[in-house]
Structure 1
Amino acid sequence: MSSPTPYDSFLLVSFGGPEGPDDVIPFLENVLRGKNVPRERMLEVAEHYAHFGGVSPINQQNRELLAAIESEFQTAGIDLPVYWGNRNWEPYFADTLEQMKADGRQRALAFFTNVFSSYSGCRQYRENIAAAREQVGEGAPLIEKVRMGFNHPDFIATMVDSVRAAAESIECEPRATKLLFTAHSIPLSMAENCDYELQLREACRLVADASEVSDWDLVYQSRSGPPTQPWLEPDVLDEIARLDDEQKISALVILPIGFVSDHMEVMFDLDEEAADLCAQRGIKMARARTAGTSPKFVQMIRSLVQERLGIIDEKPSLGKLGPWHDVCPADCCTYIPRRPSGRPG
């Protein structure tokens, strides 16, 4: 039996975002195609983008991350050319795979710009890539993802550094500060079939413990479904108001642990709405930075790739869940959207 073709390339897999006002509606229509989201909600989100000139930060952040990964690979002696593809905007997966095929690439390792398991954060990307391979046809490269890094020591260390820097920015010790971790809310019917909440809570616990913070909670943001569809709660704004009403918060750090870079949701929901709410209530608030291109986070990506290349044998992880699987089981993160009545639809 012949051995598989060795990995010959690296693919950064991401969501994509508009890069000008004319892109916003077509982009959101791509995102929401086939989803039960009212058009009024789409137009509301479009206004969020208009607030920032119709440009999402995500594409430029991915360009910077790809450059950092390429530099990290060169320093570590990893000879893999790097590529980048998106689900919802240019460069689309099919276009990137077509280029990889033209370049003679046959088997790539992929890092998804998400470190927590869910349908939208993992399985859907794998489905998108499979569809793109069919579109490209014979000779399309095989794409295999690295494991989720939610409890990797380098990711946790990156988040701890972020919490400490945020607390210092409002002249507080982390241990004396209320800490809210945020992540993108997802429908309960999606959450029931994945380990999203489990991984999030474990990562939050690890970061809080290492930061010596005992007063923390996990909250959610950016829900987009109809009001009748249950999503993960509590919402970050609702929770800030509730906590302040009950115990009067003086200082607050918000860490968007569920996002690896400053997406539009982070900039609008936290830097605008949450910041405004805290200002109205007299709460000193600092939004902790996302992983972005921080050296430890880029080192984590390099380490995950080295595991699959067989360069390192150890699979470092913190906490009780251990290193996550490399190859997703067939039923991993399945999702059948439900109508408000609870019937599949």
Structure 2
Amino acid sequence: MATSNGSQTHNSRTESLAVAHRLLHIEADAVKALESRVDEAFSRALDLLISVTGRVIVTGMGKSGHIGRKISATLASTGTPSAFLHPTEAAHGDLGMVTRQDGVIVISKSGATAEILNLIPYFKLLSVPVIGLLGNCSSPIGEKCDTCLDVSVVEEGCPLDLAPTASTTATLAMGDALAVALLTEKKFRPEDFAFLHPGGALGRRLNLRVEEIMHTGAEIPAVPPGASMKEVIVEMTRKRLGAACVVNNAGCLEGIFTDGDLRRAFERGENFSSATASHVAIRQPKAVEPATLVTRAINIMETYNIFVLPVLDADKKLVGIVHMHDLLKSGIGR
């Protein structure tokens, strides 16, 4: 009897796992289908949202409301002021949070949600743009929107075809697409993201500055302009940062020489017998200020394929150096 129960449990679990796999395929297909819908309507939605000088108000009922809250939160955290408006509460006074400077995103799978339909005349009276994330753009709500983004799906992942699954995933993905397109349009920077996330471990990591982790004083690999190549290589080896900074008597950076520069010089067959640090240094290397965010320093290194950055003060004097390993140890990755 125990074997029979065990077999039944195994068969039931196999069926459950198959349903789970099927759902993930359905949701993945639903998101994939959205790619072709980033079209003129999407561009129109971007134009409308960029023109908003107030907040982007997001509204939806039920599961659409939960997705709306997430979309609103994503917009707010990426530089587009936003707030969620519950349709039912809106009819009992919360409509006052919408101003003529705002824009509205309405979410509805059917495109006929009564609570949303009842609000649209008030949005029109305020002359605010209304963007629909709808499962049916040829619907009562769709007809009243300034532009409609089609988030319809072929089927839900729920085996009963009742609980919204693929449709909510598609709506959330389209909302994310709007948010990241907006942050791109607005030239939103890592520094801006850090400013909006000051709390907790994330805030600490994103607001970390180069001056907090850079090597200073005796840890800086530095040589004078007249140093021999032997002295340059010894300094690079001793400080273990893969570079030597060439610094003049005033403390200003004249250039930098890295282990990569050394390898390339040997490959070219250069003779270092009489060369000095000043002769081999790379002039005007990429550098940062002490207050530069670590996220920005990582971006510079990745963009220019370099592993060390001199740190200069306002007078262009060398005050530190930072290595890619230091940045990664800080816990910030891209």
Q: Would you tell me which structure has more helix in proportion to its own residues?
A: 2
Asked which structure has the greater CA Rg, the reply is 2
Q: Normalising by structure 1, report the TM-score.
A: 0.28
Highest RCO, 1 vs 2 (Cα 8 Å, sep ≥ 6): 1
Q: Normalising by structure 2, report the TM-score.
A: 0.28
